[in-house]
């Protein structure tokens, strides 16, 4: 039985490879969507379909990473419920906004968001493994950062894991490894919340998303095991380089206003 992915076979293979790399990156610091969303856009998917399909493939990867950290005893049951529910609610709300956003607007702002996230990751303070005094208790943190970042994850997604990670460290006082583990849980929650909405709206390319999801799960398992062994600061340069390169590529595309302007100017 031959599955029709709606794309050339070589392009499907490239997307599967991008998903594996994204799953690996996501399991460590987040930001795997910085690889897969631009790749899906460059493959010719409309912006909402790219974001929706990315949610399906990304859910497999972050689920694999979450399970690995849970089995290793890194996710604390007392924190799991409020963080999960808040991120889940944010993901559903964000997906609703993404569903209503015009495609032209998403195409315009996606490269800008990619560059902004890359610069934020590049200039973020060095983060250690020791816990610090939390600035927010669990419930206020969940209601503010959990819902807020989940909202962003549902609207767009790439870099949400990095934002969860930094919020858990800077606002909740988590050390690096503790923050990475709970980031996976929150990222999983906002992913499935957004995915449920996108599936109901019919925006997901299911066959392609499942194939990429299998690749992402394999990459995420490897990334989570690598993180448990070596810590969580392995791929920051990779995230920065890939996100900026993809943003530049997207802005030079003829369908983007900047690319169209350069083509007319030439």
Q: Tens digits of per-residue pLDDT, 14-57?
A: 999 999 998 988 787 777 887 898 899 888 888 888 888 999 99
For the four alpha carbons of 211, 212, 215 and 217, in that order, the dihedral sign comes to negative
Residue 5 located in a structural domain: no
Residue 4 located in a structural domain: no
Checking if the pLDDT of 187 tops 80, the result is yes
CA atoms within 13 A on the CB side of 193: 31
Residue 75 located in a structural domain: yes
Q: Give the DSSP letter of residue 144.
A: I
Residue 159 banded pLDDT, cuts 50, 70, 90 = confident
Residue 27 located in a structural domain: yes
Checking if the pLDDT of 258 tops 60, the result is yes
Q: Tens digits of per-residue pLDDT, 109-154?
A: 777 777 777 777 677 665 556 777 888 999 999 999 999 999 988 8
Residue 207 located in a structural domain: yes
Tokens of 21: 């790399």
pLDDT at 246: 67
Terminal Cα-to-Cα distance of the chain (whole angstroms): 47
Task: Give the predicted TM-score (pTM) of the model.
Answer: 0.80
Other beta carbons within 10 angstroms of residue 231's beta carbon come to 14
- More confident call, 8 vs 61: 61
- More confident call, 67 vs 103: 67
Q: Select from 194, 229, 192, 179 the least CA-distant residue to 30.
A: 179
Q: How far apart are CA 19 and CA 72, in angstroms?
A: 24
Q: Tens digits of per-residue pLDDT, 215-254?
A: 999 999 998 888 787 765 555 676 677 667 767 766 776 6
**Which helix or strand (DSSP H or E) is residue 18 part of?**
helix 9-28
Contact by Cβ (8 Å): 180, 144 = no
Residue 150 located in a structural domain: yes
Q: Name the residue range of residue 125's domain.
A: 11-265
pLDDT at 27: 80
Tokens of 34: 């910085």
Q: Using CB atoms within 10 A of its CB, is residue 139 exposed (0-12), middle (13-18) or buried (19+)?
A: exposed
Tokens of 122: 């590049």
φ, ψ of residue 175 to 5 degrees: the values are -75, 170
Q: Using CB atoms within 10 A of its CB, is residue 80 exposed (0-12), middle (13-18) or buried (19+)?
A: middle
pLDDT at 1: 45
Number of structural domains (the chain) is 1
Tokens of 208: 């392609």
Residue 2 located in a structural domain: no
Q: How far apart are CA 260 and CA 48, in angstroms?
A: 21
Other beta carbons within 10 angstroms of residue 255's beta carbon come to 11
Residue 165 located in a structural domain: yes
pLDDT at 227: 78
Q: How far apart are CA 57 and CA 232, in angstroms?
A: 22
Tokens of 54: 């990315």
φ, ψ of residue 127 to 5 degrees: the values are -115, 130
Task: Report the percent of the chain where pLDDT is more than 90.
Answer: 38
């Amino acid at each position: 039985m031959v599955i029709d992915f709606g794309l050339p076979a070589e392009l499907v293979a490239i997307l599967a490879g991008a998903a594996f790399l994204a799953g690996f990156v996501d399991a460590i610091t987040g930001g795997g969507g910085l690889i897969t969303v631009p790749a899906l856009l460059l493959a010719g998917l409309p912006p909402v379909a790219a974001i929706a399909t990315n949610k399906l493939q990304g859910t497999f990867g972050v689920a694999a990473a979450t399970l690995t950290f849970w089995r290793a005893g890194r996710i604390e049951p007392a924190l799991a419920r409020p963080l999960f529910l808040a991120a889940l609610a944010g993901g559903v709300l964000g997906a609703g906004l993404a569903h209503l956003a015009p495609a032209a607007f998403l195409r315009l702002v996606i490269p800008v968001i990619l560059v902004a996230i890359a610069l934020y990751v590049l200039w973020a303070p060095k983060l250690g493994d020791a816990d610090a005094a939390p600035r927010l208790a669990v419930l206020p943190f969940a209601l503010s950062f959990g819902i807020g970042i989940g909202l962003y994850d549902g609207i767009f997604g790439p870099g949400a894991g990095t934002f969860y990670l930094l919020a858990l460290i800077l606002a909740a006082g988590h050390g690096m490894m503790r923050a990475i583990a709970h980031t996976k849980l929150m990222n999983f929650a906002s992913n499935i919340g957004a995915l449920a909405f996108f599936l109901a709206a019919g925006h997901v390319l299911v066959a392609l998303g499942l194939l990429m999801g299998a690749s992402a799960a394999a990459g995420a398992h490897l990334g989570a095991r690598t993180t448990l062994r070596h810590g969580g600061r392995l791929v920051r340069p990779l995230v920065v380089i890939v996100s900026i390169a993809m943003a530049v590529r997207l802005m030079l595309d003829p369908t983007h206003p900047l690319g169209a302007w350069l083509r007319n100017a030439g």
